[in-house]
Chains A and B, each alone.
Chain A
Amino acid sequence: MLELTRITAGYDRRDPVVREVSLSLAPGESLGLLGPSGCGKSTLARVAALLHRPYAGTVVLDGEPVRGWRHRAPRAQRTAVGVVFQQPRLSADPRLTLRELIAQPLRATGRRSEVADRVAGLAPAVGLTPELLGRRPHEVSDGQLQRACLARALVLRPRWLICDEMTAMLDASTTAALVAVVESYRRESGAGLLAVGHDRVLLERWCDRTVGWQECSGPGAPQESMSPTG
């Protein structure tokens, strides 16, 4: 299970953007979180990916309570969650080729011997040719770069996947292609998915269930009947 309970988080303690939000996700389940832009759903996605420490609330990952965020989270917990962000340009190190970009998590976790095999296996799955793998981010389109970012998120075979507005910048065909990649990975691995976005039609088509931002965030009150329980 990936359980977030009464999370309050943000960038200013006096005015948090996320207030008492609760969510829970079963293994293999896909959940769409719908909300208007600027509502704080991206912050919540970062909390769930152990990248942003909340002011209050608890995150339980596979039965293990999360005690630290970012570098303070144990590596095994961090790498259990793969994450894809909205803007591929900002989420790729501009100096790395796409091949290196995808291989980074393997190198960071001391599994460099697997690089050649894993990249060779993932690249065709996300639709990248060997020629594209040799290029740097400024030499490819947004769609191609996002394909590489998705491959990077999958390269460690995470049990959980968080897609934060993954397709907001992309055209219809690339969107459908990336969603198909995520779904085929989930079918084969049984990973759970939290897809965050503002496009109701897309999320309802993609996910087992969708919840609105309003439904899972309490107005600061302790009892909120709409919160899914874990």
Chain B
Amino acid sequence: MTNKFMDNKFILRFFWIVILGIIWQVIALSEVFNLTSFPRIETLLASLIKDILNGDIIIQTLYSLRLILKGLMFGLIISIILSGVSMISKVFEGFVDTIIAIAHPLPGISLLPLVILWMGIGERAIIFIIVHSVVWPLTLNLLAGFRAIPNIYKQIGKNYGLNSLKIIQYILVPASLPYFITGLKIGWARAWRAVISAEMVFGAAGNAGGLGWFIFKKRVFMDTSGLFGGLIVIILIGIMIEDLFFEKFEKMTIKKWGMSI
């Protein structure tokens, strides 16, 4: 039953991608837009394959992904600490609320000039921007998750004779998991945005630079089809993470436990 559903979903996705591709091709062939700004699909794919074969795009994608993972990890740790602390103490809750109110509306990219002054233009600066864009939505979601747990769950746990640690392990964490996963999804998407925009401003931060730098280089050399290649890679990775990683994770946890459909 579940297998069929999976197949269906992939077939559907594939179907829609093909339809969108056809629409794209028709527009490109009609030459309503300049071919240099709206290239045909075969040109796009050819340039993507070329960039894959000479290794450029792969190295730069891996570089960006590494930065994102680092940033996400730091962000996750900080979020867990912040939300945990504010669950324990009212005073800290006020602090966390205030800092979220201050920092959450600030787009990472608007902090760039400051970040450059504070920590220069290296990898650290990009990771700082990623952490900034991940931490606030993730903390908000974790807090919402904790707060949404009915008190009665805890009381049931106590009735079973569980100690505080066991209550956290068996009740609080699983019960807030749907919120946690949503937070992680938002954090992941935000991290992508942050890393691409930061790289487009900083240039090559490491030795080869990341995907944002790749796209920027394509822009300045007016290689529009190459630019689309970079975008396609971002889309593919996004779909892969969404469909494979998060889906699996949800199936293993909250769907199996009957918390979500």
Bound pair (A, B): no
